[in-house]
Structure 1
Amino acid sequence: MSAPAAGGPGVSAPVAPAAWAASDPYAAALRAGRGPLFLRRADGWLLPLEVERWCAAADRADRAALDRCEGRVLDVGCGPGRLVAELAGRGRTALGVDVSEAAVAHTGRLGGRAVRRSVFEPLPGEGRWGTVLLMDGNIGIGGRPCALLERVAQLLAPGGLLIAETAPGDVDERAEVQVVDTGGALTGTPGHPFAWARVGTPALLRYAARAGLRPDAQWSADGRRFAALRTRTRNTTAETANRAAVISSQWPR
């Protein structure tokens, strides 16, 4: 388990990375390519984690979301890398970000690129990404959706696109959870507790407005719900030239 990462410049407060992705049960599930795996709250409530789907190729709903991507794509919480691999197969420039060593390694085996890092740590190409993905419930990373959206706004280029997958209904909840393997088939050991959030589309739009993101589209596919939002455009050409010069030095060589 890595130490909590401080927020980037302008983020309202430090937020811990997605500690569940660094937990032993999660890494074991990725290596096996299967569950059962759950998020468990202190009151015993369980949320199933769709390990088999994450470890498979991108499905129809995934591909429909990826069809909307613009420019360079950053997949935050990329997991085993199916979306990064799909984008790479399309000839798109894409990078995955995940705190799990097993996830980053799996992405590489699929032919994608990924870095082991928290989204709240410095990342390549800040302010230059055309699209940021928060799929598979990753709007919950850190347990503070508003802070995460502020960070995403920093990563995106002016007018850039956020594509987020949301929870069903008007959900807006935060809790401390653990990753657990209830059957004991993987490790039988729960992961460390960490903060997580579940956010439906109405709540996402409320938080997005505070972060300076505006609604662009909403849709459903195969029982999953998605929303696209955009950053504001830049105001001056001088700012454009300055930001481009700074960001160009951050790309991996």
Structure 2
Amino acid sequence: MSSSVPPWAAADSYTAALHAGRGPLFLRRADGWLLPLEVERWCARADAVDLDVLDRCEGTVLDVGCGPGRLAAELAARGRTALGIDVNEAAVEHTIRLGGQALRRSVFEPLPGEGRWGTVLLMDGNIGIGGDPTALLERAVGLLRPRGLLLAETAPVDVDERVDVHITDARTDAGSPFPWARLGTPALLRYAYGWERAGHWTAGGRRFVALRSRSASSSAEPPKRTALLNSQRARKPSGDSPVPNR
């Protein structure tokens, strides 16, 4: 995968929407189909569904495609070690203004704490980043510590789609097309070869999957049990957890 910044990273309509805190904003396929982007929710504080996901995080947290930073900021407010990454400068700046840590970086570029993150978040459909779910899952394995946790938000319908899309405000397209994927829960689980299934759930009309990476010593063995996710309170970071550097 290329580590260059995607062509939509400086898209005027996307940046304008983040600054305004509202849409309309869409992903547009070549056939004209539009997928609404929930800019208002992304720019608001973490809601009850988000908070439930954050309660399940373990150790240090890497928020991939953090957008305007509601999750990274909430984790920072809880005293958790967390880092958001996004390829859009306005998104990174917004995250920092909210009190979170963030870097302008692609997930496929070198990142702080590789192989030591306790949890990787792929929220808001970010399992679609790069248009290649297998490559993104492989990258997540390299970012997580052994038996680390991946929490991913999937599409609310059963879909398995890889397409080129534009970001658009429904008037003009921004930049060049870029690859994207949409996966429902069954599709993600099909791609998650080598991961332990740690649960899946629906909340507030949104769907989520938890996967646990296997340790090197147990990678060839069947999982002995399903991980129990704590949905009541966040776990404290371990003492040897990496502290991200800007």
Q: TM-score, normalised by structure 2?
A: 0.86
Is contact 1:142–1:196 with CA below 8 Å preserved after alignment? yes
How much does 1:215 deviate? 0.7
Paired letter, 2:2: A
The whole-number CA distance in structure 1 between the counterparts of 2:244 and 2:21 is 31
Unaligned runs of 5+ in 1: 7-15, 237-246
Letter in 2 for 1:161: L
Opposite residue 72 of structure 1, the aligned amino acid is T
State the shift of 1:24 in Å: 1.8
Match of 2:186 among 187, 199, 202: 202
Match of residue 29 from structure 2: 41
Partner of 1:86: 74
Q: Which residue of 1 aligns with 2:212?
A: 230
> Amino acid of the residue matched to residue 189 of structure 2?
L
* Equivalent residue letter for 2:164: E
Letter in 2 for 1:204: L
Q: 4+ residue stretches of structure 1 with deviation over 4 A?
A: 16-19
CA contact (8 A) 1:76 1:96 kept: yes
Unaligned runs of 5+ in 2: 219-240
| SS of residue matched to 2:181 | strand
Q: What does residue 169 of structure 2 align with?
A: 181
Measured in 2, the distance between the counterparts of 1:31 and 1:173 equals: 30
Q: Which amino acid aligns with 2:245?
A: P
Q: Any idea what SS the aligned residue of 1:75 has? A: strand
Instruction: Give the Cα–Cα distance (whole angstroms) in 2 for the partners of residues 235 and 252 of structure 1.
Output: 30
- 1:158-198 Cα distance to aligned partner (Å, 9 max, x none): 0100000001232100111000011x5xxx45232100000
Aligned pairs for 1:232-247 (under 5 A) are: 232-235=214-217
| Contact kept in structure 2, 1:97 and 1:118, CA below 8 Å | yes
Shift of 1:234: 3.7
Q: Cα–Cα, structure 1 residues 93 and 202, in superposed 2: closer, same or farther, change >3 Å?
A: same
**Residue 143 of structure 1: aligned partner:** 131
**Contact (CA 8 Å) 1:180, 1:191: kept in 2 or not?**
no
1:42/1:52 CA distance change after superposition, 3 Å: same
Contact 1:25 1:191 in 2 (8 A): no
Residue 206 of structure 1: CA displacement?
1.1
C-alpha deviation, 1:75, in angstroms: 0.1
Indicate the residue corresponding to 1:5 in structure 2. Answer: 2
SS at match of 1:235: helix
Q: Percent identity?
A: 70
The answer to whether the aligner puts 1:252 opposite 2:233 as a matched pair is no
Q: Where does residue 240 of structure 1 map in the other structure?
A: none
Q: What is the alpha-carbon distance in structure 2 between the residues aligned to residue 21 and residue 50 of structure 1?
A: 17
Q: Report the residue type matching 1:29 in the other structure.
A: A
**Structure 1 residues 191 and 45: alpha-carbon distance in aligned structure 2, compared to 1, 3 A threshold:** same
Instruction: Specify which structure has the higher proportion of helix.
Output: 1
Number of the residue aligned with 1:216? 198
Q: Is the 8 A contact 2:82 2:244 kept in 1?
A: no
* Aligned twin of 2:141: 153
Q: Give the partner amino acid of 2:180.
A: W
Give me the CA root mean square deviation: 1.9
Q: Is the CA contact 2:83–2:244 (under 8 Å) kept in the aligned structure 1?
A: no
Match of 1:192 among 151, 173, 176: 176
Is 1:58 the counterpart of 2:46 in the alignment? yes
